[in-house]
Structure 1
Amino acid sequence: MRSTILIALLLAAAAAPARADPDIAKGETAFKKCMACHAVGPDAKVKVGPPLNGIVGAKWAHLEGYAYSADIKDGAAAGKVWDEATLDTYLTNPKTLAPKGKMAFAGIKSEDERRDLIAFLAQFNTDGSKK
């Protein structure tokens, strides 16, 4: 009986549709967690962290004059790019990709929230205008 219930629960969980499309409005809400240190948009300036305009697809340490951590500079030297998968890993736990990095952020555990946040960031060009 227990195994039947367990199998039924596993099948129901597997059949539940995952949310496929990111929600940019929810991503904008998620960005509020980032706003103490980062900015986006046409008037974005350096805060504690660099502005995140054009971050999706950008090379690591791409902003001239910003004092990136050694981990991020090393990633840049290795040719790393902030693609969606890398951003997802970083947003889950920044210390995974940059163990000695300056970013003091615990990460975002929700996969949907990370996907929404990345979609929100992806709409900004390097000059802060929206695509």
Structure 2
Amino acid sequence: MVERRLRSRSVKKTKKKTPGGETRVYYKSEKPSKHKCGRCGKLLAGTPNDIPSRIKKLSKSEKKPSRAYGGNLCSNCLERLLRYQTRFEVKEGYKEYSDLPLKRDLTLEKYLPRGWFKELKE
């Protein structure tokens, strides 16, 4: 009988013929996919990809970057998000910029806290 830990679907089985002529089954466990940016799908830097039992043993600083939205957004998307938010804050905060033609981008807004746009209006 096969060991219990090798009966999982996440363990890949390959058959190989030995020099003696018999066929043996070799087991190789699947590695999880790398983390991707939630907005553009680019691979994220600074996030390890390993099985959960090994990730659990890492310290918090080793699991994800310490910057804002670390582990969710890549650096380019984060920069766009901060620029987007700042532009709206300037438009609502200063009268001389109130006529700026800005369009809302919902792909960025889903990462901002709920009601942030209403708070700007008040």
Larger radius of gyration: 2
More helix by share: 1
Which structure's relative contact order is higher, taking Cα pairs within 8 Å and 6+ residues apart? 1
Please report the TM-score for the alignment, with normalisation by the length of structure 1.
0.22
